[in-house]
Amino acid sequence: MGIGILSVGSYLPERIMTNADWTKLIETSDEWITERTGIKKRHFAPEGVNTSDLVMRAAEKALQRANLHPQDLTEIIVATDTPELYTPDTAALVQHKLGVNEVPAYDLAGSGCAGFVQALAVAKSRVESEGGKILVAGVELFSRMMNWKDRNTCVLFGDGAGAAIVAETKSQSEILATYAGTDGSKADILGLEIGGTRRPITAEMIADPSYPPIVMKGKEVFREAVVRMSQAARVVLEKAQVSLEDISLIIPHQANLRIIEAVANALEVPLEKVYVNVQDYGNTGSASVPIALDEALQTEHIRPGELVLMTAFGAGFHWAAALVRL
């Protein structure tokens, strides 16, 4: 028996924000956003809906599809950079709201958009050592945390959640190889430098029109994302001794269509082999890979038994890849 993904679920909040909607709030255009990023629209959560609510919706779908009850879960890992509270973590809120037993629940926080793929690797090793069934979620509620006046960043992001259940499987489903890496020397190129011990939030800071100060050196992030995602993909292929031709679908983190095209180019695979939905959801951070995986399964872009290669990159810098037979 291998350790694999039993089921997947995802959730996108109903409110849709198009590029045209952004033009009413900031100096931008549909042409600029489309040309530079490929993004046409994104989903935003309404007031009163918080990070754990998004996870709940995705988790409920995943549980239902695996024919499981919340009490069957033995652990919860939530990958997010937009937690509901500073403490306790979002995973604790999910444990309570879902009605899961008093099992370990923890966030994998601050890994940027690589969080879900990293969490998959953690879940696999936890099942190896402890057995059980682990809920792994990736979620972001960027619209609540981003700077709505900073056109360099605000048009890029969207809200959403995706979840997978990792367990021993009787079928051929298996997480064949995982890989993750970090380069903390690039921490000042992409991040949110407030709220921690270095820059506790003050009244003056909140009154500043540039609050919250999201840091993003776009071109450097772009270059690094392409290199790291393609390298990480090659590492898991090598680890599993699988060739790219055997992969049915590559699911890269959905940050920007040009980044995805450049990754396809670096891997020398046609774009048809690469899943793309960034046009509909924008960059949903840790949620982007599980949302894409769920959508690809529901639309039969990938079928049970086939090989899928997920590769992601985010703040830190962190990067991670996973090769999975579904």
- The least CB distance from residue 168 to ligand COA, in Å, is 32
Asked if residue 88 lies in contact with residue 290, where contact means CB atoms within 8 angstroms, the answer is: no
Q: How far apart are CA 144 and CA 96, in angstroms?
A: 23
Cα–Cα distance for residue pair 85/87, rounded to 1 Å:
5
Smallest separation, CB 301 to ligand COA (Å): 23
**Residue 218 found at the interface with ligand COA (CB under 6 A):** yes
Q: Which of these ranges, 26-34, 139-147, 180-188, 268-276, lies near ligand COA under the rule CB under 6 A? A: 26-34
Q: Would you call 113 a catalytic residue per the annotation?
A: yes
Residue entry with tokens 């953690």: 122
**283 makes contact with ligand COA (CB under 6 A):** yes
Q: Is 136 in the site for ligand COA (CB under 6 A)?
A: no
Scanning 25-33, 62-70, 239-247, 295-303 for contacts with ligand COA by CB under 6 A, the matching segment is 25-33
180 interacts with ligand COA by CB under 6 A = no
The verdict on whether 283 is a catalytic residue reads yes
Is 19 a residue of the active site? Answer: no
CB 37 to ligand COA: min, Å: 5
Considering only 2, 34, 36, 169, the residue that binds ligand COA (CB under 6 A) is 36
Q: Would you call 281 exposed, middle or buried from its count of C-beta atoms within 10 A (0-12, 13-18, 19+)? A: buried
28 binds ligand COA (CB under 6 A): yes
* 41 counts as binding ligand COA under rule CB under 6 A: no
Could you say which of 129, 197, 219, 245 contacts ligand COA (CB under 6 A)? 219
Could you give the count of Cα atoms lying within 13 Å of 97 in the half-sphere of its Cβ?
16
> Per CB under 6 A, does 32 bind ligand COA?
yes
Q: Give the distance, in angstroms, between the CA of residue 20 and the centroid of all CA atoms in the same chain.
A: 25
HEC string of 244-284 equals: HHHCCEEEECCCCHHHHHHHHHHHCCCHHHECCCHHHHCEC
- Per CB under 6 A, contacts with ligand COA among 65-124 are 112-113
Amino acid at position 50, single letter: N
Q: Which stretch binds ligand COA (CB under 6 A): 59-67, 81-89, 217-225, 316-324?
A: 217-225
Q: How far apart are the first and last CA of the chain?
A: 14
Residue type, 42: R
**Edge to edge, what strands does the sheet with 307-314 contain?**
174-182, 318-325, 307-314, 249-252
What residues from 149 to 168 belong to the interface with ligand COA (CB under 6 A)? 151-152, 155
Residues that bind ligand COA (CB under 6 A): 28, 32-33, 36-37, 112-113, 151-152, 155, 216, 218-219, 221-222, 225, 255-256, 283, 313-314
